[in-house]
Amino acid sequence: MKKLMIAFMMLALPGLAAAAGAGPHLDKANIDLTDKASLQRGARLFVNYCLNCHSANFMRHNRMGKDLGISDELVAENLLFTADKVGAPMGIAMPLEDAQNWFGTPPPDLSVMARAKGAGDEGANWLYTYFRSFYIDTSRPFGVNNTVFKDVGMPHVLWELQGMQTLVNAEELAAHKGAKPEFALNQPGSMSAEEYDQAARDLTNFMVYMGEPAQLERKSLGIWVALFLLFFFFIAYALKKEYWKDIH
Ligand code: HEC
């Protein structure tokens, strides 16, 4: 009975935590994985602004080109800024050790980050909100903080596009963690607010898409492992029968 209670509590706890609204406010990403133009724009942003620090080891450039309808030549011309070969995994342009020293935390691999940030739409919503929630905080090493990732160790790498904003309702947020943050643009970027929202959506779309092939690959590997174990079980069982045959 006690065990049953414990099992029940373990099942119920994550649900309760979600119901209590423990996390920060997230905006809806509303991504569309079938929108190829959006995925292509997202891929471009990702390669130009993220791979300097992060890796995406699951993703291969040529597979990306194939899935998104971009030819190998175009991938090589437009998407790669390092001397990477087409067909190589998207590596990091910075040695991990340097990254560790510069940022305190090494930038994590982004292959399955959309899924790591939550099930269903939640991972996408998290990313979409994250990209739009950097604000000026002079107490931080890079001069910015983030409402969904407190004291984040990453600079606002898209600031030239979005501009720089300040957090207007810091007190309210301190009192109610789930409150919706309000920002005011302090210094405009090259994009309007709507254009930047779309860019954040494209980037999120691409990152969710990127998590999928990796997920599929791991699942198909899992099936083979399960099949092997089943096969091995029958062999072991047959052997056992054979060994014990004459003993009774
Ligand atoms: C200048 C280096 C740098 C660049 C460029 C950069 N990041 Fe980061 N990023 C970091 C570091 C360092 C961290 C770890 C922050 C921490 O743990 O405090 C991080 C963390 C993150 C996280 C949170 C990971 C987690 O563990 O929760 C996400 C998501 C992310 N980056 C996405 C991106 C995307 C998308 C881009 C491109 C638009 C990008 N980053 C560009 C350095 C960078």
Compute, in angstroms, the gap from residue 234 CA to the centroid of ligand 1: 47
Both tokens of residue 132? 């739009």
Inter-residue contact 208 to 111 (CB < 8 Å): no
Which residue, among 25, 49, 76, has the nearest Cα to 199 in the 3D structure?
49
Domain ranges of the chain: 28-239
From residue 208, how far is each of 39, 110, 168, 213 by CA, in Å? 10, 10, 30, 10
Are 136 and 166 within 8 A, CB to CB? yes
What letter would DSSP give residue 149? S
Indicate the pTM of the whole model: 0.76
Element (H, E) at 18: helix 2-19
Higher pLDDT, 78 or 44: 44
> Taking 70 as the threshold, does the pLDDT of residue 2 lie above it?
no
The Å distance, Cα 28 to ligand 1 centre, comes to 20
- Give the distance (Å) from ligand 1 centre to CA of residue 101: 15
Which residue from 52, 59, 112 is spatially nearest to 86, judged by alpha carbons? 59
The CATH T-level fold of domain 28-239 is Cytochrome Bc1 Complex; Chain D, domain 2 (1.10.760)
Whether 154 is in the pocket of ligand 1, judged by its Cβ within 6 Å, is: yes
Helix axes 193-244, 61-68, angle to 10 degrees: 110
142 lines ligand 1 (CB under 6 A): no
Q: What is the pLDDT of residues 77-116, one digit of tens each?
A: 655 544 455 556 666 666 666 666 666 778 888 988 998 8
For ligand 1, whether the C-beta of 54 sits within 6 Å is: yes
Counting ligand 1 atoms within 8 A of each CB, the residue from 51, 53, 161, 209 with the most, and so the one to mutate, is 53
d(CA 151, CA 162): 20
The arithmetic mean of pLDDT across residues 110-132, rounded, is 92
Residue to mutate, 54, 112, 144, 205, ligand 1, most ligand atoms under 8 Å from C-beta: 54
**Does residue 19 register a pLDDT over 60?**
no
- How much is the mean pLDDT over the chain? 82
Q: What is the CA(70)–ligand 1 centre distance, in A? A: 26
d(CA 50, CA 108): 11
Radius of gyration of the chain (CA): 23
